[in-house]
A and B are shown apart, each in its own frame.
Chain A
């Protein structure tokens, strides 16, 4: 494994959605203005930031699954090569794997086991993943509506971890999971990363993210506003530079639960 090798590089990404106003008038809605992220081999990058700051849209842009009214600017490179439509078609699903945010991404008409195995997985891998995530083997035969929120989340994680992915895009992998399970997921991510996989994790659960991540990127209003090491975040407020990142730290329930006025804060920063 080469820690200097870049797996994913997104440079100056912008995303616009074409929207319809009254009648036939059209306008563009910009959700991402300028995002920059880099994921190296063996690195776990956690993206944190306000909801609606474009975190999921970025992941969807990498996978090429944005709706047809979206236009993407800037450049995304995968292992040094521009991630074109044809490269996406080749790599997505085999080397680039997504753990979606919403449990509604599970096919409601397909049993959980089938969805986890996909086209290439084996029964043995399935059993291994289920055991690891504390899912009973009877889960295999269940449909998504029969699963609880946390179980559905674990099924989603299992789909990604049994593949031979080189890049995992995990969009909010921990909501609904108990602390033990969230810790186990983070440990597993670390193992996968140590084997050479690059992981981009979008999360609000900073507490869990800090247990595994190497780097933390902070998004706000469609821009990357700060990038720091997880070590800085663990040290506490004083080690952080950007006022938004500091406010984020102070807002954690264990650090005071302070709700700062973000717009005033951002004005002060710029």
Chain B
């Protein structure tokens, strides 16, 4: 592999700006390149657009100006999206009227081994509804859900703030193993500095790259 290929950005945003209809700019002229094999940490105070940027990168919203590039082109609009997101609030990410078995196998069928690694009690929990499990338990389902073989990039938006320290260490170790083994891209959004330092190869503060004026 030549150097130029190695350093090619896998996911990037070019001069991206975003606002809701005619509201204030949330993101203004944000440019960010995430290289292949890099684990990037995105930090910054609450309300500065970290989650908005991750929604744009995962293709859930379209930028008002600028472009999101996946391997130099556009994110696929149909079928399985190679960029998958794990949300901050698992209780808002799961359909409250679906049993967990249905939610977890929507995109693929996770194997027993992975469920075991994530400490998911499949026999007991599969038939429950989301309101019958705790936040930390739900988050493990959200992680299993996105680890399909087609996934190439994972965005974790504050995914472990709902977890106790032991579960946090356990789940991150599982996810990091998968990321390294399958050579997945990873974007970690967190407020916990020591966690970011532990997980990431590079850390970016959104305040340094977001040019939107008046922030909350």
Binding site for B on A (CB under 8 A): 48-52, 56, 101-104, 134-136, 139, 148-151, 153-154, 172, 174-182, 204-207, 247-249, 251-254, 257-260, 262
- Chain B residue numbers with a CB within 8 Å of A260 are 166
Query: Does residue B152 face the partner (Cβ distance < 8 Å to A)?
Result: no
- Chain B residue numbers with a CB within 8 Å of A248 are 164-166
CA distance A176 to B191 in the complex (A): 7
- Chain B residue numbers with a CB within 8 Å of A179 are 191-193
The SS class assigned to the B binding surface is: helix
Chosen A-B contacts, 15 in total, with CB atoms closer than 8 Å, are: A50-B167, A51-B137, A52-B133, A52-B136, A102-B135, A148-B47, A149-B158, A151-B46, A175-B162, A177-B46, A247-B166, A251-B165, A252-B165, A257-B173, A257-B198
B46 touches A176 (CB 8 A): yes
A134 touches B173 (CB 8 A): no
B198 touches A102 (CB 8 A): no
Within the complex, the shortest CB–CB distance from B126 to chain A, in Å, comes to 14
Within the complex, the shortest CB–CB distance from B86 to chain A, in Å, comes to 13
- Chain B residue numbers with a CB within 8 Å of A50 are 136, 164, 166-167
- Chain A residue numbers with a CB within 8 Å of B44 are 178
Query: Does residue B32 face the partner (Cβ distance < 8 Å to A)?
Result: no
From residue 176 to 208 of chain B, which have CB atoms closer than 8 A to chain A?
191-195, 197-198
- Chain A residue numbers with a CB within 8 Å of B47 are 148, 150-151
Contact segment of B8-16, B68-76, B88-96: B88-96
Binding site for A on B (CB under 8 A): 44-47, 51-52, 88-89, 91-92, 133-137, 158, 161-170, 172-173, 191-195, 197-198, 216
Within the complex, the shortest CB–CB distance from B156 to chain A, in Å, comes to 14
B137 touches A52 (CB 8 A): yes
A204 touches B165 (CB 8 A): yes
- Chain A residue numbers with a CB within 8 Å of B137 are 51-52
In addition to A52-B134, A204-B163, A204-B164, 18 A-B residue pairs with Cβ atoms within 8 Å of each other are A48-B164, A101-B135, A102-B91, A103-B89, A104-B89, A149-B46, A149-B88, A149-B158, A151-B216, A172-B135, A176-B46, A177-B191, A247-B166, A248-B164, A251-B168, A251-B169, A252-B165, A253-B195
- Chain B residue numbers with a CB within 8 Å of A103 are 89, 92
- Chain B residue numbers with a CB within 8 Å of A52 are 133-134, 136-137
A51 touches B136 (CB 8 A): yes
CA distance A153 to B193 in the complex (A): 19
For residue B199, which residue of chain A has the nearest CB? A253
CA distance A49 to B169 in the complex (A): 13
B169 touches A51 (CB 8 A): no
For residue A203, which residue of chain B has the nearest CB? B164
Max chain B C-beta neighbours (<10 A), residue from A48, A153, A252: A252
Quick one: which of A148, A154, A206 contacts B165, CB cutoff 8 A? A206
